[in-house]
Amino acid sequence: MRTDGGHVMTGAISATDAAVTASKLVVFLDHVKNNRIEYLLLLALGHLAGATTYIAQRASGVCA
């Protein structure tokens, strides 16, 4: 392990970066749950572009 600016690095991403990414995902999902139209449109466009299929394929590998 090495430290980088006060953060302990344990691989490709640090625990701090993982926590920030997870919190952003939680905020996005909260906005979708509260029917924020701009997030729903973004989710629909991502689905049309095939992003949701890509994410579902990656997630299925994690749970298998």
- Pick from 42-46, 50-54, 60-64: least confident: 60-64
Query: Residue 46 contacts by C-beta under 8 Å, 6 or more apart in sequence?
Result: 52
φ, ψ for residue 8 (rounded to 5)? -85, 125
Lowest mean per-residue pLDDT among 16-20, 36-40, 51-55, 60-64: 60-64
User: In this structure, are residues 32 and 25 in contact, taking their beta carbons and an 8 Å threshold?
Assistant: no
Token reading at 62? 């994690």
- What is residue 11's predicted lDDT score, i.e. its pLDDT? 58
CA angle 55, 59, 62 (to 5 degrees): 150
